[in-house]
């Protein structure tokens, strides 16, 4: 097999290997759930679709490779014997050599190979409290739209007195409904589902939740402005992808707060009160008990833009 035939075959093999590697890697992340370390759940279906398309391209590339092996030898050496027919190789109007020189081909393939190698060789790790120092903690505070509260009368058969506690403007109506559900719970559990929405609801109606029990698991974080007996228990939230993660949390207070190490994971249980944070009233947790906790395999929480439609 001469050099003119080896070069195109090599390109087909490299392209097939890249497509195979990318498809297999994305499929692995999706199958193991580790894809949620990089993108929010609502985007997973699009990544799965992209993986399916890459699989089709991979099959197409495999077909081209097989066809190249089966091509007659004369097709790879167009100059051989063509003089007998009165025309040269250039008369074909095409070339079997890949476009561009070796340097250009290495750069082009490198754009695909490098991310694949980084994904395979580097561990899939989640960000924790260290990133909060760069972005600042978000306590889910919203000041409202300024619209009159009775523009958004709450529907349903709830106790009228309870509705009165959670009067809201149009923007906050869903948070008011969620707030009523949380208010009726003996202990509010800050689970991964609706973590951000629960935080928003409680801070929007902070006064209503004073004295309510709450349990939360998260990492310990501290920032300037907190008292010596305060810390923030937080979670990293991902809106769309790893590039937009932000920390969300609740101020927690205890006499022994200094004993909790930064970035350590704990489960805190206590009673809610109120505090002032950046000139905004927010809920804070008066710690009654604490237990060491392990970080979830997927430690991020994600916003649910349609949570209002799921409220019962």
pLDDT at 95: 45
* Residue 77 CB contacts under 8 Å (≥ 6 apart), including other chains: 2, 4, 5
Closest CA to 192 of 273, 274, 304: 304
Going from the N-terminus, what domains does the chain have, and what CATH number goes with each?
A: 3-121 (no CATH), 129-310 (2.40.50.140)
Each residue's pLDDT, cut to its tens digit, for the chain (312 residues) gives 565 667 778 888 888 999 999 999 999 999 988 899 889 898 999 999 999 999 999 999 888 888 877 765 544 455 444 444 444 444 444 444 455 677 787 888 888 888 888 777 766 666 655 566 666 678 776 555 444 444 445 565 567 778 888 887 777 888 988 999 999 999 999 999 999 999 999 999 999 999 999 999 999 998 888 889 999 999 999 989 888 888 899 999 999 988 999 889 999 999 999 998 888 889 999 999 999 999 888 889 999 988 988 886
pLDDT at 270: 97
- DSSP calls for the chain: --HHHHHHHHHHHHHHHHHHHHHHHHHHHHHHTGGGGTB-GGGHHHHHHHHHHHHHHHHHHHHHHHHHHHS-HHHH-TTTTGGGGT--GGGGS--SSPSS-HHHHHHHHHHHHHHHHHHHHS------HHHHHHH--B----------GGGB---SS--HHHHHHT-B-STTHHHHHHHHHHHT-SEEEE-STTHHHHHHHHHHTGGGGTT-EEEEEEEEE--TT--TTEEEEEEEE-SSBGGG-EEEEEEEE-TTGGGSPTT-EEEEEEEEEEEEETTEEEEEEEEEEEEE-PPPSS-EE---TTHHHH--
């Amino acid at each position: 097999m001469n050099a003119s035939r080896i070069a195109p075959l090599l390109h087909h093999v490299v392209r097939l290997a890249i497509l195979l590697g990318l498809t297999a890697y994305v499929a692995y992340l999706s199958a193991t759930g580790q894809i949620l370390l990089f993108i929010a759940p609502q985007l997973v279906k699009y990544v799965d679709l992209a993986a399916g398309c890459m699989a089709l391209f991979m099959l197409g590339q495999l077909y081209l490779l097989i066809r190249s092996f089966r091509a007659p030898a004369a097709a790879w050496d167009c100059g051989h014997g063509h003089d007998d027919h009165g025309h040269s190789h250039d008369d074909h109007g095409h070339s079997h050599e890949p476009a561009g020189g070796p340097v250009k081909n290495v750069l082009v393939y490198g754009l695909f190979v490098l991310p694949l190698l980084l994904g395979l060789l580097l561990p899939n790790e989640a960000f924790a409290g260290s990133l909060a120092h760069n972005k600042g903690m978000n306590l889910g505070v919203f000041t409202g739209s300024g619209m009159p509260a009775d523009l958004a009368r709450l529907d349903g058969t709830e106790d009228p007195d309870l509705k009165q506690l959670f009067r809201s403007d149009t923007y906050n109506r869903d948070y008011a409904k969620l707030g009523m559900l949380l208010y009726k719970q003996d202990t509010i559990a800050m689970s991964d589902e609706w973590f951000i929405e629960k935080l928003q609801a409680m801070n929007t109606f902070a006064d209503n939740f004073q004295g309510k029990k709450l349990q939360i698991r998260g990492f310990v974080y501290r920032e300037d402005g907190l008292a010596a007996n305060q810390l923030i228990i937080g979670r990293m939230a991902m809106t769309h992808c790893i590039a937009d993660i932000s920390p969300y949390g609740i101020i927690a207070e205890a006499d022994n707060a200094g004993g909790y190490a930064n970035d350590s994971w704990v489960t805190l249980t206590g009673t809610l009160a109120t505090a002032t944070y950046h000139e905004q009233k927010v809920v804070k947790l008066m710690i009654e008990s604490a237990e060491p906790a392990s970080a979830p395999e997927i430690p991020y929480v994600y916003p649910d833009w349609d949570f209002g439609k799921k409220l019962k």
